[in-house]
Amino acid sequence: MDLVKWNDAKMSIGIDFIDDEHKQLLNIINDLATSIHNKCQRDDIIAILDRLIDYSTYHFSTEEKYFDKFNYENSVAHKEQHQIFLDKFQKIKSEINLEDDLCSVILSEEVFLYLIKWLLHHIAGSDKSYVKLFKENGLT
């Protein structure tokens, strides 16, 4: 069940490997939606959050490597957004560990809604701001 589908017009930044990574993040978010819909247990939700944190760390490091390489002017602020995201999901994961299964599902719904808003805003806003620089330096 893909609750959120990739939309090239709204989500693509035009750099294929970064778009592919964004699609993978979207797949993980959709896995969370499926888990919530199926009323999965806390351990399932935590496993998905672990995947989200791990893959986000990988993806952010990809972007940040090029921020440094190309001297991206908004690098500090963008990296801070990444760290806030990772910190938030580490905190959420620890809160889910402490809650009963029903609370985990309710909390996971809040997490899912936050993820959708963050991903769409981050890609459409923050990530699109580095596209010109990346393309000028040969990334496609």
Domain count for the chain:
1
Within a domain: 1: no
Within a domain: 50: yes
Within a domain: 3: no
What's the CATH code of the domain at 41?
1.20.120.50
Reported as a single tens digit per residue, the pLDDT across 83-126 is 999 999 898 888 776 656 555 556 667 777 888 888 888 988 89
pLDDT value, residue 103:
53
Within a domain: 70: yes
pLDDT value, residue 36:
76
Question: Are residues 46 and 96 in contact, defined by beta-carbon separation less than 8 angstroms?
Answer: yes
pLDDT value, residue 120:
83
Question: Are residues 72 and 78 in contact, defined by beta-carbon separation less than 8 angstroms?
Answer: yes
Higher local confidence (pLDDT), 27 or 33: 27
CA distance 26 to 19: 10
Question: Are residues 79 and 63 in contact, defined by beta-carbon separation less than 8 angstroms?
Answer: no
> Averaged over 61-89, what is the pLDDT?
96
CB under 8 Å to 16, separation ≥6 — which residues? 140
pLDDT value, residue 134:
98
Within a domain: 2: no
Reported as a single tens digit per residue, the pLDDT across 49-67 is 899 999 999 999 999 999 9
The range of the structural domain enclosing residue 12 comes to: 8-136
> Averaged over 14-30, what is the pLDDT?
95
pLDDT value, residue 2:
78
Question: Are residues 51 and 71 in contact, defined by beta-carbon separation less than 8 angstroms?
Answer: no
Within a domain: 85: yes
Place of tokens 């909390």: 107
Within a domain: 78: yes
Element (H, E) at 52: helix 42-69
